[in-house]
Structure 1
């Protein structure tokens, strides 16, 4: 059975780059600290607890992909998107999020018991994306972020907000079959 992913349409494609228009979605997110790997692991566990039944109605929620990680230091720094922006967090603060299944609305989705897990509605958004395979590291994500920013600059695409790193596969997936992406929201 396939894992649900956020709905989007591809507006432009030049592998490994795409411009996508995402439909509105709900995310469950947590703020965590550490390096990219520690934050990703800790955030995953907290949100997994929520979707596996730690919510007000004790309901299991289907797993979706991707798991995204956003660097809060970059998000809050108001850095011009034309400058290279790395994923390394000087403050060590990250937002880890899961997209919730499309069947839910903010009114119908079970509310988390853990106050660290927050639900948020995200409106339709256009994103520039670079895809890559293999294992990830903070350095590899930073390199892919720079490649995406350079591609955006050549096309006069203006970013908005911090880059997001997205992982689509469970940890036991063979490296050459792993799907990873760096995404940057675009201004209209």
Structure 2
């Protein structure tokens, strides 16, 4: 899996599409490095706060005052019963050792291992109700095909908040297990 897929000029994690069926894809993702922060509270508050922490870091809020290229998607995944993890992928070729040290100690670097994911793309404002409906429909799609959910849901957001709802690319994903 060499190369990087591009979305509107922004780097994103590389993946290969295994299959497409009824509006969902099975994708094989390669390993990639993320900067992440855990936030408590409801989903909407957590993504807003987490995005701000990570944006400050990539826009120079680090020990070297160095800017880092923006990538997509911004990812969000549940953590426990009242928390969320917000992630920014780091540009290819960077490692935890070459990235500037964050000024905010809540930021951690994690290498996301390769994974096989079921993914469903949709547009609109990513409200909690819409995300819950989309993740429920994808979970049913997975179950109907005899696949096993290992982890998720993950939510992927590709566009700026200024993008009109019908032009937004959002995705819900589940990491699939064996058998």
Q: TM-score, normalised by structure 1?
A: 0.87
Residue number in structure 1 paired with 2:149? 159
User: In 2, Cα distance between the equivalents of 1:16 and 1:133?
Assistant: 13
Aligned residues: 171
Q: Which has the higher strand share?
A: 2
Residue number in structure 2 paired with 1:78? none
The answer to whether the 8 A contact 1:16-1:132 is kept is no
Residue 160 (structure 1) shift? 1.0
Q: TM-score, normalised by structure 2?
A: 0.91
Task: Give the secondary structure class of the aligned counterpart of 2:155.
Answer: strand
Q: Does 1:52 align with 2:44?
A: no
Unaligned runs of 5+ in 2: 1-7
Residue number in structure 2 paired with 1:80? none
Task: Give the secondary structure class of the aligned counterpart of 1:40.
Answer: helix
The structure showing larger relative contact order (alpha-carbon pairs under 8 Å, at least 6 residues apart) is 1
User: In 2, Cα distance between the equivalents of 1:110 and 1:160?
Assistant: 33
**Which one of 23, 31, 44 corresponds to residue 30 of structure 2?**
23
User: After TM superposition, what 4+ stretches of structure 1 lie above 4 angstroms from structure 2?
Assistant: none
Q: Does 1:176 align with 2:171?
A: no
Q: Counterparts of 1:57-76 in structure 2 under 5 Å?
A: 57-73=64-80
Residue number in structure 1 paired with 2:92? 102
Residue number in structure 2 paired with 1:42? 49
**Which one of 121, 136, 154 corresponds to residue 126 of structure 2?**
136
Unaligned runs of 5+ in 1: 74-90
